[in-house]
Amino acid sequence: MSVEKILNDWKKGNFKPVYWLEGEEDYFIDRLVSYAEQKILPESEASFNLTVFYGKDANWADILNACRRYPMFAEKQVVILKEGQQMREIEKLEPYFENPLGSTIFVVSYKEKKLDARKKMARYIKEKGELLTIKKISERELPEWTSLLLKGKGLTISPKGLAVLVDHIGNDLSRIENEIEKLRVNLGQRKAINEDDIEEYIGVSKEFNAFELQLAIANKDLAKSLRIVQYFESNPKAGPIQMVLPALYSYFSKVYMVFGVPSRDEKTLAESLGVPPFFVKDYVRTANLYNFEGVEKVLLLLHQYNLKSIGIGSTNATSSGSLMKEMLVKILG
């Protein structure tokens, strides 16, 4: 069962008595909980038949009583436990999961943790309801997920604009959605997003950002790379080293993979690297410019300077800007 399958079932009025939502990706858990809280019951029924608990303050006996209560003037009631991972004695809900009430829709949010699948409670939830474990979206899935989100809102974006947006925000799905909504509102009737829009409404310079730095290094352009890092030094929020180095490491890791793919066919490379086809040429060009040993050297340097950025292997306090400049000279000098 997926998030979309559960939402589709709910929209059709198909409900199970228990939904246990666990895992690393808060965005999808919050999306399901929000729908359960706001959309399952009509407003006229919600005042009598919607009960929301918060794990930190919740008492297991109160939750059991709420779940076992019959709905008033309606066929169903909804009981929601938010932040269930913070609840003490949550295991005392086990008897209810063994024999849940058919007229109750009990939704549990259990973030950043997972139930022990060997225990009875997990088995009861799987038998009587739905236990959904949601994994964090990987970096390679992020551009496609963002593209689908944009498409769902009737928007389009250039490949470069998509890369700038994703690189700037990172793996924060809620923030990506919020920034896209900000763009949608500001664009008015226009549907195509470009780099100028991202600069104006999100505050990411179209010339000085992590994506442009990546391109400059990929093209062995030391002068441009240093200019971008100089901008980061003057505007720390634009390119913090903790964001830039992992992004560069991810990029060159994919370049490294190019050498292991026997075919240079764009579709094959895109599937192997896990990137959109329109970016494949960039990875191949970088692989040709650096060669195998050069890419290995870059990866080693990125790893070393990532450690230095958190104080490992650095003998004195060095600014992030100085570290990045020193690293660039070693890569490109």
CA–CA dist 143, 217 (Å, integer)? 21
Provide the CATH number for the domain formed by 3-134 in this structure.
3.40.50.300
The CATH architecture one would assign to domain 214-333 is: Up-down Bundle (1.20)
Q: What token pair was written down for 252?
A: 């060159």
DSSP-derived letter for residue 92 is G
Query: What residues pair up with 109 in beta bridges, in sequence order?
Result: 21
Give pLDDT, residue 91: 94
Q: Which among 252, 230, 244 is positioned nearest to 300, based on CA atoms?
A: 252
Give pLDDT, residue 315: 58
Give pLDDT, residue 169: 87
The full set of domain ranges for the chain reads: 3-134, 137-206, 214-333
Sheet (strand 50-54) strand order: 50-54, 77-82, 104-111, 18-23, 130-134
Buried/exposed code over 63-86 (b: 16+ C-beta within 10 A; e: otherwise): beebbeeebeebebbbbbbbbbee
CATH topology of domain 137-206: Helicase, Ruva Protein; domain 3 (1.10.8)
Give pLDDT, residue 249: 93
Give pLDDT, residue 264: 82
Give pLDDT, residue 1: 67
Q: Which among 218, 219, 216, 220 is positioned nearest to 230, based on CA atoms?
A: 216
Give pLDDT, residue 237: 83
Three-state secondary structure along 145-165? HHHHHHHHCCCEECHHHHHHH
pLDDT-flagged residues of the chain (< 50) = none
Q: How many residues does the chain have?
A: 333
Same fold, 3-134 and 214-333: no
Q: Is the pTM of this model over 0.85?
A: no
CA–CA dist 294, 255 (Å, integer)? 11
Task: Say if residues 315 and 308 touch (Cβ distance below 8 Å).
Answer: no
Give pLDDT, residue 145: 92
